[in-house]
Structure 1
Amino acid sequence: MAQDRRITKTKTAIREAFFSIIKDNKSSKITVTEIANRANIDRKTFYLHYDSPEAIKDEFYKSLINDFLLILEKNDFFDRSFDVLALFQSLNILAQRDIELYRHIAKMPSYASFWEEIKDISKSVVIESMSGAINVSKDELNMYAEFYSAGLISAYIKWLRNEVSLTETEVVNVLSTASYYGFQKLLPQK
């Protein structure tokens, strides 16, 4: 059943207000009053649609995770062995919708659970794609996948935060090389 356009418009205004406050504000604490004022609604109208500002964030997380999975699927990410370039490209397709917002939330500790969820998705893909290809115990594979995925997502966050002066392609090349060779590639050959 289609949602009433007024409801859709109000919820959109609330979400846009919430995210504009995030971009303007360094604090992770956002009040209902701030959102209502920015959305040009009263508090009562806010509470007709959301229980709290955290409910907006939860809805945002769920939407992003679903969108990310769809992007990965569209890029046939799940049908091939783990590909650093495909992961970065998928993350960038998602982030380019509002790169300023993603750069900002990459800097906010209150959004760590979002990045943890992205890491867990990457980790499950690594485990799935490698489980038949290598002969290690389930626990060992789990540790390799955790190390690999955590490093990739951490590097992506550093790139999003502009903490490195490398291009997307350069970051992908470094991470691809590090994934396959570790530090061995950087050490002088004997």
Structure 2
Amino acid sequence: MPGSSRSDRRRRKVDEAIRTAFGELLAEKGLKNVTVKELAERADIDRKTFYLRYSSIDGLVDSLLREEMRRLAEVLTTAAADEDGSVNVPVVFRELSAELIATFDQRAAVVQHVDTDALISRLRPAMADVLAERDALGLAEDLGPYFELFVSFFCSGLLALYHQWADSDSELPMEELATLAGSAIAGGIAAVTGMAKSLGISGKNEA
């Protein structure tokens, strides 16, 4: 419908203005000093319009991080699909490790303005939710009612490794670290899914 189309264009224009203004303010002042008032002024909107979309500046940050994880999950699930359509889990985690450690902060500008502890605490649920939602690891059938718990577990391990690497200013080659991390998690997944099958958990759904 014409009215709906105009409304969608208006919404996209406002969202773009908010994100552009946010990026500019981040570069100028840092995350802790950005307020909704000045962001709205920079985006040429009123604060009510901002709050219709986000609960706060933190809410905007969480939304941006979740979008980055969705984009990344889409790339990973496409790249890691075998010819028969199944998911190659070792490839998923190898690529996820490489993206997270090597290039994530180059694309998501907001990451550069969030301290590592805050970044990890925000990324963990976003990453786990997106990977679980898409069953990007192909584990739902194998792990049944434990599926979401173990997706979160493996994501937490990967993020903890990234956290330690970032905080220590390590000179260890990021490419090697990513490869080792992917292998470690893929091995853990293989062990867990194997045990799930032996316990008769595979294929079960939550009641």
- Same-fold status (TM-score > 0.5): yes
Q: Are the aligned partners of 2:70 and 2:130 in contact in 1 as well (CA < 8 Å)?
A: no
- Identify the structure with bigger relative contact order (alpha carbons < 8 Å, sequence gap 6+): 2
- Correspondence for 1:25 among 22, 30, 33: 30
Percentage of identical aligned residues: 24
1:131–1:61: structure 2 CA closer, same or farther, 3 Å change rule?
same
Q: Does 1:39 align with 2:43?
A: yes
Q: Residues 67-92 of structure 1: CA distance to partner in whole angstroms, max 9, x if unpaired?
A: 22211212126611333322224445
Confirm or deny: 8 A CA contact 1:68 1:94 kept in the other structure. no
Q: Deviations over 1:54-73 (max 9, x none)?
A: 44234324423322221121
Of 16, 35, 46, the residue aligned with 1:12 is 16
Partner of 1:86: 95
Q: CA deviation at 1:148?
A: 4.4
1:122 touches 1:149 (CA, 8 Å); kept in 2?
no
Amino acid at match of 2:160: S
1:128-139 to structure 2, matched below 5 A, reads: 128=139, 131=142
Taking the aligned partners of 1:112 and 1:32, their CA distance within structure 2 comes to 22
Aligned counterpart for 2:176 among listed residues 143, 146, 170:
170
* CA deviation string 1:111-148 (max 9, x = no partner): 6133333246668766819949xxxxx87x99887654
1:15 maps to a residue whose letter is R
CA RMSD of aligned residues (A): 4.2
CA distance in 1, matches of 2:54, 2:114: 21
Structure 2 alignment gaps of length 5 or more? 189-207
- Give the distance between the partners of 1:58 and 1:112, measured in 2 at CA: 10
Q: CA deviation at 1:106?
A: 5.3
Aligned to 1:113: 122
Give unpaired runs (5+ residues) of structure 1. Answer: 133-137, 182-190
- Counterparts in 2 of 1:168 and 1:121: CA distance versus 1, 3 Å: farther
